[in-house]
Structure 1
Amino acid sequence: MEIGKFFFVSILLALVLGLVQSFEFTEKDLESEDRLWDLYERWRSHHTVSRDLGEKRNRFNVFKENVKHVHKVNKMDKPYKLKLNKFADMTNHEFRSTYAGSKVKHYRMFRGSRGGTGGFMHEKTDNLPPSIDWRKKGAVTGVKDQGKCGSCWAFSTVVGVEGINQIKTNELISLSEQELVDCESDNQGCNGGLMENAY
Structure 2
Amino acid sequence: MERALLVGLVFVLLFGVGMSIPFDEKDLESEESLWDLYERWRSHHTVTRDIAEKHRKFNVFKANVRYIHEFNKNDAPYKLRLNKFGDLTKEEFRKTYAGSRIHHHMMFRGERRGTSNFTHAKTNDLPVSIDWRQKGAVTGVKDQGHCGINQIKTNKLLSLSEQELIDCDKGENQGCNGGLMDLAFDFIKKIGGLTSEVNYPYEAEEGTCDTLKENSPLVVIDGHVNVPENDEDALLKAVANQPVSVAIEASGTDFQFYSEGVFTGDCGTDLDHGVAIVGYGITQDGTKYWTVKNSWGPEWGEKGYIRMQRGISRKGGLCGIAMEASYPIKTSSNPTEKKTKTHKDEL
Coarse TM-score class (shorter-chain normalised): 0.7 to 0.9
Q: Which amino acid aligns with 1:189?
A: G
Report how far residue 35 of structure 1 moved. Answer: 1.9
Kindly indicate whether the alpha-carbon contact (under 8 Å) linking 1:22 and 1:83 is maintained by their aligned counterparts in 2.
no
Q: Find the aligned partners of 2:62 and 2:70 in 1 and give their Cα distance.
A: 12
Structure 2 unaligned blocks of 5 or more: 1-10, 186-347
State the Cα distance separating 1:136 from its structure 2 match: 2.8
Alignment partner, residue 153 of structure 1: none
Deviation at 1:148, TM superposition (A): 2.2
Alpha-carbon separation, structure 2, partners of 1:126 and 1:23: 42
- The CA RMSD measured in Å over matched residues stands at 2.7
TM-score by length of 1: 0.73
Query: For residues 35 and 60 of structure 1, what CA distance do their matches in structure 2 show?
Result: 12
**% of aligned pairs identical?**
63
Q: CA deviation at 1:137?
A: 2.6
TM-score for both structures, normalised by structure 2: 0.44
Q: If each structure's strand is expressed as a fraction of its own residues, which one has the higher value?
A: 2
Q: Is contact 2:27-2:33 (8 Å) kept?
A: yes
User: Whose relative contact order is higher, 1 or 2, with alpha carbons under 8 Å and at least 6 apart?
Assistant: 2
Determine which structure has the larger helix proportion and give its number: 1
Q: For the Cα contact (< 8 Å) 2:64–2:87, is it kept in 1? A: yes
Aligned to 1:106: 105
- Is structure 2 residue 176 aligned with structure 1 residue 190? yes
Change (3 A) 1:116 1:133: closer
CA distance in 2, matches of 1:146, 1:172: 20
Q: Which amino acid aligns with 1:87?
A: F
Match of 1:141 in 2: 139
* Cα offsets for 1:37-96 (capped at 9, x unmatched): 111111111211111112111111110110111111112112221111221101112222
Distance between the aligned counterparts of 2:57 and 2:63, measured in 1? 10
Alignment correspondent of 1:80: 78
- Alignment deviations for residues 119-143 of structure 1 (CA, whole Å, 9 cap, x no partner): 1224962222133122233322222
* Separation in structure 2 between the aligned mates of residue 53 and residue 125 of structure 1, nearest angstrom: 59
Mark the runs of 5 or more structure 1 residues left unpaired by the alignment: 1-8, 151-160
Taking a change above 3 Å as real, the CA distance of residues 131 and 198 of structure 1, as seen in their structure-2 partners, is: same
Q: Which residue of the partner structure matches residue 158 of structure 1? A: none
Tell me: CA distance 1:170–1:75, structure 2 relative to 1, closer, same or farther (3 Å): farther
| Matched positions, count | 171
